[in-house]
Amino acid sequence: MNIFLPVLLLLPQAVWSQTLVSPAKVSVGARASGAAALSQAPVFSFPTTFNGMAAAYKSAEKEYLSAIERVLAIPSERRTFANTVQPLTQADGRFQEATVGASFMTEVSPDGRVRRMADAIARRMSRFGINLADRQDIYQAYLDVAAKGEALTGEDKKLLEETLRGYARQGMGLPPEQRERLNSVRKRLSDLSQAFQKNLREVNEFIDVEPARLEGLSQAYIDGRERTPEGKVRITLDYPSYGPFMELAKDSELRRQLAFKYANRAADKNMPVLGEVLSLRRELAGMLGYKTYAHYVIEERMAKAPEGVSAFLARLKNMVYGPARAEGARLLDELRRERPGAGKLDYWDRAFYTGKLQKRLYDLDDEEVRQYFPIDTVIKGALKTYEDMLGVRFTEKPAGAWSQDVRLFEISDAATGRRIGHFFLDLYPRPGKFNHMAAFSLVRGRELPDGSYRRPVSAMVGNFTKATPGRPSLLKHGEVETFFHEFGHLMHQTLTQARYLDFSGTRVARDFVEAPSQMMENFVWQPAILERISGHWQDASRKLPPELLAKMLAARNFNKATEIMGQIGLASLDFAYHTAAGPIDPMAVLERLWAELGLPAPTPGTHFPATFGHLMGYAASYYSYLWSLVYAQDIFSRFEAEGVENPEVGRSYRREILETGSSREEAESLRAFLGREPDEAAFLRHLGLPVSEPPAAPAA
């Protein structure tokens, strides 16, 4: 039983947990009654009426407490792993499955009243989880089991050890008055994290533009935007609206107006929230005896200590700093072709002139490329790619979900026909919806008391451009890459075979969780895969032309050093905030770091930290994207060597990486798949950098 999960479920954890529901009640597939029936329920149901949600939560909480009390009634001398740890773990799983729908509804429900009720339930669930984690009697039950000295092995041993370590990290050994303050801090942090994300989610800003000022934008883009009664075109901050506008709109003043709003999203609310969050995290770490909050967090990551992360970021910065500066100078030269004597490239001009430079250097136009990637063709080809690689089959089923745009698929094993799980695709924007891309784990796979296995359910939530009359949704190649990335998370979540919820799917070390998803991005650059996932929207038989692919491959590492330096900047900012020993000014830290890294200075009056949602969920772990990219490219190196369509490699990847979750150490899974120690050679090749000798993995 992971008693801390009810709290964790409330954090903005894009790929690692949340759940689902609809306008009245989602009930997809068979209803469950009892553990055995639950194992046969293909998805799950959760009431989502305003009153029904509250009643369902209260019922789940009552049942959870009853299950705990039944275990605690066992005399201490009779305690065993089987009659204490396993029943508590099962109770935790039932509670999560019964309540996680509320968390998910805050992200996807079209009904504002439902989202508000979901927020209220999430706050109550946070307090419930924190109070539960502070119960000495539950902790004592685990201590009693440990004192028995049973010869536990494998996942059983790991579960007991990690639960006891979790209690220690909760401060269970502290005096009561300090524990009371810790709980108060945790409750406040949960509320603040939830508020930070809610503020971002509910931003509804825009600019209204006369059609005559939209030069550079396609008619399809213009037709896909809302019109005001005066006939103006409304440009919002949602990605399908904001991204193309910043890349293609020729009017620099309009780009400036939109970029300023984007870089100031929820700033008035979120800057104070961030300040309080950082202060409380410092206090929490100090109370638990850690030097900084980063030391507290990274102790449970593959990196183990902040010093290793700092060294990794510094070494990577030294590798890419020079190339990034050269790329920046080249981009400024591109601006000067139109504005001779320009001294700098403003934030709102970067995407526009990056596109112009790419087109001039490589004769590559992203808008031309996207004509070959209608979303239905991409989805069909991507699913086929994953099926063949992993030895699975996807069958579409009636969704009956929270929005008519949502699709549902059943996963089965190709060799045996065994049903494995389900996933939803919710890919288009709606008001109030989560506004990026993420894979949410809805039901986590786990072994049930009767020996059956609870089939997992996940959802990919995104915001691709919707179709317009006479024209389908067309994806940029970068968006195709994003689809493969998020679907990689989806497979990690749904193909799990871990026995316990705590080790299931993407519940792995945070600095490894992005490795399987980033690995899959490589596939969208392989000619055989592109043949499968492309087809011109006006004639599906017209695949991506070889000459266009050649241009894409030539431009693949275009501005790569700038991209990596940007990621180093974000990771360093997150790290600086969480290694500070005392109060800081978040904007001053940002300005200092950006100057040190050679990144463009923030535009006066903007507040990027207020928009950086990962500061809530990742919290001293944003470095994970770069850290796990080392492992991702090393994993892909085996596909490169043995064939990207080699089913044997794919089955090995499914078996050694995806199915295991964290039921064993992540480094052990890597060694099992690679047949050697991991190293960084493939990562350096991916960046176009010389391979050092001997290559070394980042993990300490």
Range name among 31-40, 287-296, 655-664 with the lowest pLDDT average: 31-40
State the Rg of the chain over Cα: 25
Question: Which position among 97, 107, 486, 521 bears the catalytic label?
Answer: 486
Cα–Cα distance list, 421 to 90, 413, 490, 661 (Å) = 19, 10, 11, 16
Angle between the N-to-C axes of helices 306-336 and 624-642, in degrees from 0 to 180, rounded to the nearest 10: 80
CA–CA dist 126, 393 (Å, integer): 38
Fold of 375-554: Collagenase (Catalytic Domain) (3.40.390)
Between residues 469 and 259, the one the model is more confident about:
259
Question: How many DSSP H helices and E strands does the chain contain?
Answer: 28, 11
For the record, the structure tokens of 532 come out as 């499968």
Confidence at 32, pLDDT banded by 50, 70, 90? very low
Other C-beta atoms lying within 10 Å of the C-beta of residue 86: 19
CB contact at 8 A, 592 and 268: no
Rounded Cα–Cα distance for residues 428 and 431 (Å): 10
pLDDT-based confidence at residue 690 (cuts at 50, 70, 90): low
Among this protein's residues, is 155 annotated catalytic?
A: no
Q: How far apart are CA 336 and CA 338, in angstroms?
A: 5
Condensed to tens digits (0 to 9), the pLDDT of residues 489-516 reads 999 999 999 999 999 999 999 999 999 9
**CATH fold of 267-364+559-622, please?**
Neurolysin; domain 3 (1.10.1370)
The dihedral through the CA atoms of 126, 128, 131, 135 has a sign that is negative
Contact 35, 119 (CB under 8 A): no
Segments making up each domain of the chain, as ranges? 5-171, 204-252, 267-364+559-622, 375-554
Q: What mean pLDDT comes out for the span 61-73?
A: 97
**Which run of H or of E encompasses 561?**
helix 560-579
Count how many residues are written for the chain. 700
Q: Is 129 exposed, middle or buried (0-12, 13-18, 19+ CB in 10 A)?
A: buried
**Strands 446-447 vs 453-454: parallel, antiparallel or unpaired:** antiparallel
Correct CATH for 5-171 of 1.20.1050.40, 2.40.50.110, 3.40.50.300, 1.10.1660.10: 1.20.1050.40
**Residue 688 confidence (pLDDT):** 80
Nearest to 331 by CA among 313, 348, 349, 308: 349
* Statement: residue 1 has pLDDT above 60: no
Distance between CA atoms of residues 581 and 78, nearest Å: 47
Cβ neighbours, 10 Å, residue 36: 13
Residue 627: count of CB within 10 angstroms of its CB: 29
State residue 435's pLDDT score. 80
Q: Determine the straight-line distance between the first and last CA of the chain, rounded to whole angstroms.
A: 29
In this prediction, residue 14 carries a pLDDT of 27
DSSP secondary-structure letter at 27?
Answer: E
Phi and psi based region of residue 308 (left: phi greater than 0; alpha: psi -120 to 50; beta: remaining): alpha
Measured distance CA(302)–CA(508) in Å, rounded: 10
Q: Measuring CA to CA, which residue among 1, 17, 3 is closest to residue 100? A: 17
- Of the pLDDT bands very low, low, confident and very high (cuts 50, 70, 90), residue 2 is very low
pLDDT of 374-419, one tens digit each? 999 999 999 999 999 999 999 999 988 888 999 999 999 999 999 9
The whole-number pLDDT of residue 667 equals 95
pTM above 0.75, yes or no: yes
State the Cα–Cα distance between residues 609 and 270, nearest whole angstrom. Answer: 8
